[in-house]
């Protein structure tokens, strides 16, 4: 074999020295790094559960596990919608604005302590429809005006939040409809109904990603927009549909949040965006798009929720908890990026 400059660059040190490959080099050389990254979040989740259980056995008590599931319901539903946008290679910052609008519509149209409305579950349908409409509007703004998704969704975030605060009159309005409150208070097979709703949202998201043309097109655009366009995919239509789909999930999350808290106010969505983005990224979905998915996000939501619950059980300060979550998202992004392929960071 002729050895030229290019051969030397690609050879390992042991090969250049003429050494035979070691057992370790064969082992790690044969493993697919991409596959390792895919399984890493699940391994982290298992390790977290073991370590927290050792530190505090109360972690695995049924009551605490139900508490974890209930805490994960809203973040999981939000993260399902956000996952599709990140798979596109875009970002959606309108999470909190959409959730606020959905919660506001739910409370003001159902039985409440601010007006005489009592539309029951029609309020829930109207809330999800309003948030879905916001999603479609965001997609139209982003695609037809060619505004970066970061700025388009940032604007929609503040528009939604402003509308919500204005309609609520700047105060908290209580939700008094017992049937909607049962989403948080009633249980089925030992779990709050909200958990089952979140699992249904997860199944819908799985169906869309793995069994529909829209899901395949979203993955294709995230993997390479130019190639997807040359393949005949309508980029505008797919983007608008993806943002509308995200708005649907945000709307469901807004209804669940209003049911869990029993009210809607200006701060009902505070911190939801960070939690959703953290869950998606920690789960292994790449911010560059085209890699990951809703199953990864489910694992990510569980990691974030379990870690938060564990730190509470261990008596960790809330400020330290925020620091840990910040470090976690930085580490997750760093591990999810393929630096060999990423030539420009912007």
Question: Does a structural domain hold residue 79?
Answer: yes
Residue 224 burial (10 A CB sphere; 0-12, 13-18, 19+): middle
Asked if residue 32 belongs to a domain, the reply is: no
Tens of pLDDT, residue by residue over 205-238, are 999 999 999 989 998 888 887 887 788 888 889 9
The answer to whether residue 232 is domain-embedded is yes
> For a pLDDT cut of 70, what percent of the chain falls above it?
85
CA distance 49 to 307: 8
The answer to whether residue 258 sits within a structural domain is yes
Q: Whole-angstrom Cα distance, residue 84 to residue 77?
A: 12
| Position 144 in a domain | yes
Contact 256, 58 (CB under 8 A): no
DSSP 236-291: HHHHHHHHHHHHHHHHHHHHHHHHHHTEE-TTTTTTHHHHHHHHHHHTT--TTSSS
Q: pLDDT (tens digit, 9 = 90+) per residue, 102-114?
A: 999 999 998 888 8
Q: Tell me the whole-structure pTM to 2 decimals.
A: 0.83
Best-predicted range by mean pLDDT among 39-53, 54-68, 124-138, 167-181? 124-138
Nearest residue to 200 via CA among 70, 82, 77, 72: 77
Q: What is the pLDDT of residues 167-189, one digit of tens each?
A: 888 788 888 888 888 888 888 88
| Residue 337 is assigned to a structural domain of this protein | no
Residue range(s) defining the domain that contains residue 166: 74-271
Q: How many domains does the chain have?
A: 1
Of 241, 233, 242, residue with least CA distance to 294: 242
With tokens 């990254």, the residue in question is: 37
Domain assignment present for residue 28? The answer is no
- How many whole angstroms separate alpha carbon 266 and alpha carbon 100? 8
Q: Is the pLDDT of residue 77 over 70?
A: yes
156, part of any domain: yes
What are the phi and psi torsion angles at 175 (to 5°)?
Answer: -90, 120
The closest of 121, 67, 98 to 253, measured between CA atoms, is: 98
């Amino acid at each position: 074999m002729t050895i030229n400059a290019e051969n030397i660059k690609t050879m390992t040190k042991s090969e250049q020295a003429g050494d035979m490959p070691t057992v370790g080099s064969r082992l790690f050389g044969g493993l697919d790094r991409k596959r390792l990254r895919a399984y890493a979040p699940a391994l982290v989740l298992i390790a977290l559960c073991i370590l927290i259980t050792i530190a505090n056995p109360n972690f695995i008590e049924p009551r605490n596990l139900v508490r974890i599931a209930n805490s994960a319901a809203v973040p999981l539903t939000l993260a399902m919608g956000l996952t599709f946008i990140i798979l596109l290679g875009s970002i959606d910052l309108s999470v909190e604005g959409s959730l606020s609008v959905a919660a506001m519509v739910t409370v003001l149209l159902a039985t409440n302590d601010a007006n005489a409305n009592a539309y029951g579950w029609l309020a829930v349908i109207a809330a999800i429809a309003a948030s879905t409409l916001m999603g479609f509007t965001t997609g139209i703004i982003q695609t037809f005006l060619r505004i970066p998704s970061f700025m388009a969704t940032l604007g929609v975030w503040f528009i939604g939040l402003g509308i919500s605060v204005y309609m609520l009159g700047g105060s908290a309005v209580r939700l008094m409809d017992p049937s909607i409150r049962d989403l948080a208070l009633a249980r089925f097979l030992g779990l709050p109904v909200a958990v089952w709703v979140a699992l249904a949202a997860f199944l819908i998201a799985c169906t869309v990603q793995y069994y529909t043309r829209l899901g395949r097109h979203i993955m294709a655009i995230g993997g390479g927009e130019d190639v997807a366009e040359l393949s005949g995919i309508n980029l505008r239509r797919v983007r608008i549909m993806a943002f509308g789909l995200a708005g649907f999930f945000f709307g469901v999350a807004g209804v669940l949040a209003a049911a869990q808290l029993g009210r809607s106010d200006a701060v009902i969505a505070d911190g939801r965006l960070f939690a959703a983005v953290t869950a998606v990224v920690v789960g292994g979905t790449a911010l560059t798009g085209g890699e990951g998915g809703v199953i990864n996000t489910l694992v990510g939501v569980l990691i974030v929720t379990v870690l938060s619950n564990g730190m509470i059980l261990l008596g960790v300060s809330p400020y330290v908890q925020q620091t840990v979550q910040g470090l976690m998202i930085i580490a997750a992004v760093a591990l999810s990026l393929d630096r060999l392929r990423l030539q420009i960071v912007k």
